[in-house]
Amino acid sequence: MLFENRSRAESFGAVAGQYDRARPSYPSSLVQALLSDGAQSVLDVGCGTGIAASLFAARGCAVLGVEVDARMAELARTKGLEVEVARFEDWRRRGRRFDLLTSAQAWHWIEPTAGAERAAEALRAGGRIGVFWNFGDPPVPARDLLGPIYARLEPDIENYSVLLGNHDARAQAALTGIADSAAFEDVKTSTFPWRKTYDTAAWLEHLNTHSDHQALEPARRGRLLDAVAEAIDSIGGSLEMPYETVLVSARRV
């Protein structure tokens, strides 16, 4: 399970600026769905550089981020966000409760049962938890080119990377952890489709912010990225990535 590999979870700070530039945002329909209960206070767990937190702040919410990496937190603060540096498992609530708890691309770094329990403690009665991920599904021409490259150079990544259309168990694990908690009801999964176009340079920058690519020894990562760049250039220097944002949500009893 990914939550057992915290070194990967804490690797993003080394590329915080690149992460903030390259990682995709989230559709407005997702934000609207999470705010449909009228939430005014938001706790964003694993807020990173504040990509998702900023969307809620822009809607007038009071947002507090919790982030394990001080470098990511510092970048989020430059956006006017309040961020406390801590592992969510160790974060001190100090009596505070929130209308909405969110986690964007980060809940899989937290043990799902313990995470649900901690979330319940942080939410007021009737509050909502919403954890979500962007899953990409490369179009057929890109998949036909990129798949063999990964199979040849980095088969371990090819077999599970969410960038190559592998929708792993992270959303299901979150759903199970929340559903097993007596503190939540109306547990459900929702999906929000959208698209983003990348040129070659933007796609390489995006790849370089994913922990499975960051974990590679630099020479290996360089060979992989060079091969990917050549492949994308061969199909015109860009690709349109269909995304599906998957949301697991529930209401605090």
- Mean pLDDT, the chain, integer: 92
Handedness of CA 39, 46, 189, 25 (dihedral sign): positive
170: containing domain = 2-137+165-197+242-252
d(CA 121, CA 243): 32
Q: Please check whether residue 250 is in contact with residue 191, taking contact to mean a CB–CB distance below 8 angstroms.
A: no
Number of domains the chain is built from: 1
In the predicted structure, residue 158 carries a pLDDT above the cut 90: no
pLDDT of residue 66: 98
CATH code for position 124 = 3.40.50.150
Residue 158 belongs to some domain of the structure: no
Each residue's pLDDT tens digit, 129-156: 999 999 988 888 888 889 899 999 999 8
In the predicted structure, residue 167 carries a pLDDT above the cut 90: no
Amino acid letter at 5? N
Percentage, residues of the chain above pLDDT 90: 81
Handedness of CA 87, 90, 92, 95 (dihedral sign): positive
Residue 43 belongs to some domain of the structure: yes
DSSP letter string, 160-201: H-GGGT---THHHHHHHHHHT-TTEEEEEEEEEEEEEEEEHH
Residue 228 belongs to some domain of the structure: no
Residues paired with residue 192 on neighbouring β-strands, in sequence order: 245
Handedness of CA 238, 51, 27, 108 (dihedral sign): positive
